[in-house]
């Protein structure tokens, strides 16, 4: 099968801040590829018939759920809305709209009591970002527990932009054992979501973790996903920071993206193990199934 997309396809072309063609997808080919990936990994390799997905009302979780439905059927996909007290009502409405469109059985579990049971009692002065991290990890606790209850596999929703920029809670958003979106930049997620007919209200709204009122991803990052994706595309294709700046990319944004990419390398790996032998798991010793 033809590889649907590679960052190395257009390395011969000089970088151009206005040229986003390197990020374009054959969306139908990618959709079919990811559906087969999910079907193969969940059913054939791991022996599961069901998946659970946390439905935030955002585009990433919506697309993941839709792809799981196409791979396994709606009866095999269980969606969970896991709001905190500061979560927006619109996000919950979008999650329910998505579930209705793709006929996904959905359950709402409010995490406010679980999160505040810790924070109010022991850390009442916790910052907004600390609260957000606790909430993200609490959501993953629930998803893994519900997956165990249902005999299902948790499906991840993190995209490549978030993962490369380190914009997620470690051992929370990126912890599920299977992730169909992990090699798609955010701008590519938007394109694929439109192709599979995710509701426009979900695709077009500003991306947000919905953990802090008024917070948006791009506000936190200081650069739009579209700009960051293009810079990341060129960096991963082997182009230097100097070449991008010479070509007209804004030096401040290139430095911002590069800095986050380098500082968050550790988040894209399992815990670093101190090697004492040639059989350190994940560090040296790898049976064929491990890779």
Q: How far apart are CA 54 and CA 108, in angstroms?
A: 10
The model's confidence at residue 219, banded by pLDDT at 50, 70 and 90, is confident
Tokens in use for 220? 């936190």
For 230-259, what is the mean pLDDT? 95
With contact defined as beta carbons under 8 Å apart, do 216 and 207 qualify?
yes
pLDDT number for residue 209: 75
With contact defined as beta carbons under 8 Å apart, do 57 and 92 qualify?
yes
238 conformational bin, left if phi > 0, alpha if psi -120 to 50, beta if neither: left
Report residue 52: phi and psi, to 5°: -120, 145
Three-state secondary-structure class, residue 68? helix
pLDDT number for residue 275: 76
5 pLDDT above the threshold of 90: no
H and E: helices and strands count for the chain: 12, 4
With contact defined as beta carbons under 8 Å apart, do 165 and 257 qualify?
yes
pLDDT number for residue 271: 77
Q: What percent of the chain has pLDDT over 90?
A: 77
289 pLDDT above the threshold of 70: no
The model's confidence at residue 9, banded by pLDDT at 50, 70 and 90, is very low
For 166-193, what is the mean pLDDT? 95
pLDDT number for residue 282: 66
Q: How far apart are CA 164 and CA 154, in angstroms?
A: 22
Three-state secondary-structure class, residue 77? strand
Q: How far apart are CA 143 and CA 153, in angstroms?
A: 9
Q: How far apart are CA 140 and CA 135, in angstroms?
A: 9
Average pLDDT, the chain: 90
The model's confidence at residue 208, banded by pLDDT at 50, 70 and 90, is confident
Cα distances (Å, whole numbers) of residue 2 to 38, 204, 205? 17, 30, 33
pTM tops 0.85: yes
pLDDT in tens, 67-90: 999 999 999 999 999 999 999 999
Least trusted range by pLDDT, from 128-137, 164-173, 186-195, 270-279: 270-279
CATH annotation of 21-290: 3.40.50.620
Radius of gyration (Cα) for the chain, nearest Å?
Answer: 20
Tokens in use for 140? 């993953």
Residue 7 CB contacts under 8 Å (≥ 6 apart), including other chains: 22, 233, 236, 237
220 pLDDT above the threshold of 90: no
| Domain range list for the chain | 21-290
pLDDT in tens, 30-68: 999 999 999 999 999 999 999 999 999 999 999 999 999
12 pLDDT above the threshold of 80: no
pLDDT number for residue 273: 73
Least trusted range by pLDDT, from 118-132, 209-223, 245-259: 209-223
DSSP state of 153: E
């Amino acid at each position: 099968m033809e590889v649907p997309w590679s960052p190395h396809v257009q390395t011969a072309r000089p970088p151009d801040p206005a040229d986003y063609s390197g990020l374009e997808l054959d969306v139908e080919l990618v959709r079919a590829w990811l559906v087969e990936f999910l079907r193969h990994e969940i059913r054939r390799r791991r022996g599961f018939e069901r998946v659970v997905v946390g439905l935030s009302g955002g585009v990433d979780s919506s697309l993941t759920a839709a792809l799981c439905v196409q791979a396994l059927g709606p009866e095999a996909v269980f969606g969970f809305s896991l709001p905190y007290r500061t979560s927006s009502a619109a996000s919950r409405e979008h999650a329910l709209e998505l579930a209705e469109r793709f006929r996904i059985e959905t359950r709402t579990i409010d995490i406010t009591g679980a999160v505040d049971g810790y924070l109010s009692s022991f850390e009442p002065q916790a910052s907004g970002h600390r609260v957000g991290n606790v909430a993200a990890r609490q959501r993953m606790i629930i998803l893994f527990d519900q997956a165990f209850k249902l005999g299902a596999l948790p499906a991840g929703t993190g995209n490549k932009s978030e993962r490369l920029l380190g914009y997620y809670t470690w051992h929370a958003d990126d912890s599920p054992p299977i992730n169909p979106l992990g090699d798609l930049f955010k701008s590519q997620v938007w394109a694929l979501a439109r192709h599979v007919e995710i509701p426009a209200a979900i695709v077009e709204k500003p991306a947000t973790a919905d953990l802090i009122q008024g917070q948006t991803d791009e506000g936190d990052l200081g650069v739009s996903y579209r700009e960051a994706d293009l810079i990341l595309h060129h960096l991963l294709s082997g182009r230097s920071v100097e070449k991008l700046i010479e070509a007209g990319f804004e030096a401040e944004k290139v430095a911002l993206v590069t800095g986050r990419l380098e500082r968050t390398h550790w988040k894209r790996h399992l815990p670093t193990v101190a090697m004492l032998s040639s059989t350190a798991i994940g560090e040296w010793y790898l049976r064929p199934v491990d890779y």
